[in-house]
Structure 1
Amino acid sequence: MRFEFLKEHRGEIGPIKKACGLMKASRSGFCEYLGRKKSDAQIEREALEGFVAEAFHRHKGRYGCRRIGRELRKSGVAVSGRRALRTMRKLGLAGKGATRKHRVRKRVEPGPSAEPGGARLLRGRAQQASGGRHRHMPTGEGGSASRPW
């Protein structure tokens, strides 16, 4: 990351020696970084970024990571939805999303919790008294039993 920053801002900071001193990076390491060729993975990432950006702009920003991933897979590019998401985030792209008319919200009515606070508190104290050796086992009847091991 340091070397990438130095490469991007090489002319603004000043001489390489001074810039490397400010970033606490070795000058020889930076010169070696400049001479390195790109790895296959880096070339593949840059190509994928181009594919994702092109597909995103072709559909006027309406497509999200899932639809872009699906479109790339149809065109023969092996990419998962998560990888498409990561690439879109790196490029600062986000789909327009659903309009207010079509947005779906599920309303959840507040109700009693499945486990009252008192039972949770007692179980915690029982575990503390036994040194945390109690294990909860399903009984098959919808509940669980606490047994020391």
Structure 2
Amino acid sequence: MANLSPEQVSNVEADCYWCLTKLLDEPVSRHMEEQGLEFLQFSFRWFNCLLIREIPFRLVTRLWDTYLAEGDALPDFLVYIFASFLLTWSDKLQKLEFQEMVMFLQHVPTQNWGDVELEMVLSQAYMWHTMFNNSPSHFLAG
């Protein structure tokens, strides 16, 4: 994100917020908001490391394959990947308080993930990207 202008960063943040509130179950989004947890508090590392630190090393090649295939659409697609990644733990997140959520999201339990779990996240992200990416702009004004 270092190469993005302030306006582009603002647009990414707005898109992340939109995905968080529209794509995740509404109870998860509401709970996170009630706890005062902002997307940026846990997603900064996700964006900077492109989820490489959050998944087992053996799955990195599959993840990078997707990133390379997306080409210039990758920044938009990442928002959908992150929303799908979060949705994986929606039931758990609804039971956690602020500090527990922060700790959980900084150390998501993916150590036993295999191809199936990653494919589910990527497939769901691809579906959402296909459905919503060309819809009218949902960026927040300002």
> Higher strand fraction: Structure 1 or Structure 2?
1
Q: Give the shorter-chain TM-score range.
A: under 0.3
| Pair member with larger Rg | 1
Structure ranking higher in helix proportion: 2
Q: Structure 2 length as normaliser, TM-score? A: 0.22
User: Which is bigger in relative contact order (C-alpha 8 A, separation at least 6)?
Assistant: 2
